[in-house]
């Protein structure tokens, strides 16, 4: 038997339930992964709450990030073998003990990347990479990153620094020491934000990892054109300002894993909970105060 977390009705953490079922065999082009760790991301609880409309066929399993060991390979799969450590990318339904997934959505887990780090790379790390890739950041840029203390923003900072850019980050004062440790110049949210950023020099690009009216207002004040702005959480404010959603290149997971393997991207881990405590993980993630990535262990 294999356990999973699913929901039938949209709602908060209370709609999640554990279900035990048979271990499914992989089909043509698929691999089955025995999950070691699962990354919890804001999109998980937002989709469960129905924030993106009634788009899911239910019962549905949350989750867009996991890592584990291949324990079965379907026909026509040549890239992976039983026993391979892997990272599973952008495919819903990772809150489960065994994940059957298209092998094209899986990448090898390098020996220099721990399971804890690997579980934090899909979704958050990948989104941070895609923000910086979308902007075409170079060493000539000064990049402002909104929501920099979160997992997406922290990844974006490290990747921009790896590109040689100067990075300014918005975050609460409690996170400023962490931001400095990964190469950013922090400024605090508040009415003086725009003046504080301008006091550090001209901004050439803005990546918004949090969404909402305040980051959009600051971006429109600091950039003469929205051609060098991008958001990972598009909403009515960013749409009205002409700030586009981030583009996701096809090789985003591979490139993100390469950066992690080279030591240029590190995920800050807040806590690891049992899979049965997925509702608690949702509550912590929804609070917006978790000091890093939340992981689940089956």
More confident residue, 60 or 53: 60
CATH number at residue 170: 3.40.50.720
What is the pLDDT, as a whole number, of residue 172? Answer: 81
**pLDDT above 90: residue 240:** yes
Give the span between the Cα atoms of 146 and 206, in whole angstroms. 8
**pLDDT above 80: residue 90:** no
**pLDDT above 90: residue 290:** no
Structure tokens at 297: 């262990």
Segment 280-288 mean pLDDT: 91
**pLDDT above 90: residue 193:** no
More confident residue, 159 or 89: 159
**pLDDT above 90: residue 52:** no
- Say whether both 104 and 155 belong to one domain: no
Alpha helices (H) along 38-192: 42-48, 115-120, 126-135, 151-162, 176-181
Burial (CB < 10 A; 0-12, 13-18, 19+), residue 274, is: exposed
Closest to 256 in 3D by CA, of 92, 133, 111, 114: 133
- Say whether both 75 and 217 belong to one domain: no
Q: pLDDT tens digit string along 163-189? A: 999 999 887 888 889 889 988 888 887
Segment 90-100 mean pLDDT: 91
> Is the four-CA dihedral 17, 290, 92, 97 of positive or negative sign?
negative
Last residue of a domain, one of 224, 241, 258: 241
Long-range contacts: 286-294, Cβ < 8 Å, 24+? 286/12, 286/13, 286/42, 286/45, 291/149, 291/175, 291/178, 292/151, 292/267, 292/268, 293/39, 293/40, 293/119, 293/120, 293/124, 293/151, 293/267, 293/268, 293/269, 294/39, 294/40, 294/270
- Say whether both 272 and 164 belong to one domain: no
Give the span between the Cα atoms of 183 and 158, in whole angstroms. 7
- Say whether both 33 and 116 belong to one domain: yes
Which residue range is the domain that position 284 belongs to?
Answer: 2-122+250-297
| Residue 292's pLDDT band (cuts 50, 70, 90) | confident
Last residue of a domain, one of 194, 216, 241: 241
Tally of structural domains, the chain = 2
Tally Cβ neighbours within 10 Å of residue 206. Answer: 27
- Say whether both 81 and 112 belong to one domain: yes
- Say whether both 9 and 108 belong to one domain: yes
Least confident of 106-120, 156-170, 179-193, 266-280: 179-193
- Say whether both 6 and 118 belong to one domain: yes
- Say whether both 207 and 63 belong to one domain: no
- Say whether both 95 and 160 belong to one domain: no
Q: pLDDT tens digit string along 142-156? A: 999 998 778 899 999
Last residue of a domain, one of 220, 241, 262: 241
More confident residue, 194 or 289: 194
Q: Strand 293-297 vs strand 269-274: parallel, antiparallel, or unpaired?
A: parallel
Long-range contacts: 42-48, Cβ < 8 Å, 24+? 42/285, 42/286, 43/123, 44/95, 44/282, 44/285, 45/12, 45/13, 45/282, 45/285, 45/286, 47/92, 48/7, 48/10, 48/11, 48/12, 48/15, 48/16, 48/282
Segment 179-207 mean pLDDT: 89
């Amino acid at each position: 038997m294999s356990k999973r977390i699913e929901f039938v009705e949209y709602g908060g953490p209370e709609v999640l339930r554990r279900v035990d079922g048979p271990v499914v065999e992989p089909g043509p082009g698929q691999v089955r992964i025995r999950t070691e760790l699962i990354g919890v991301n804001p999109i998980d609880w937002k989709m469960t709450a129905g924030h993106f409309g009634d788009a899911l066929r239910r019962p549905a399993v949350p989750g867009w990030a996991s890592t584990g060991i291949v324990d079965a390979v379907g026909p026509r799969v040549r890239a992976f073998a039983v026993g391979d450590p892997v990272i599973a990318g952008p495919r819903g339904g990772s809150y489960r003990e065994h994940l059957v997934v298209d092998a094209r959505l899986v990448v090898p887990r390098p020996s220099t990347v721990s399971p804890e780090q690997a579980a934090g790379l899909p979704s958050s790390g990948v989104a941070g990479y895609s923000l910086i890739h979308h902007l075409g950041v170079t060493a000539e840029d000064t990049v402002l990153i909104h929501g920099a203390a979160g997992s997406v923003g922290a990844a974006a900072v490290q990747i921009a620094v790896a590109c040689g850019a100067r990075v300014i980050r918005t975050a609460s004062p409690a996170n400023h020491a962490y931001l400095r440790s990964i190469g950013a110049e922090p400024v605090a949210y508040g009415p003086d934000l725009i003046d504080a950023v301008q006091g550090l020099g001209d901004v050439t690009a803005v990546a918004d990892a949090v969404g909402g009216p305040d980051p959009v207002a600051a971006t429109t004040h600091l950039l003469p054109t929205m051609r060098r702005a991008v958001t990972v959480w598009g909403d009515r404010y960013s749409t009205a300002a002409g700030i586009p959603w981030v583009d996701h290149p096809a090789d985003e997971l591979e490139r993100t894993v390469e950066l992690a393997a080279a030591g240029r991207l590190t995920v800050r881990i807040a806590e690891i909970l049992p899979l049965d405590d997925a509702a608690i993980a949702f509550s912590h993630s929804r609070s917006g105060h978790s000091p890093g990535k939340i992981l689940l262990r089956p």
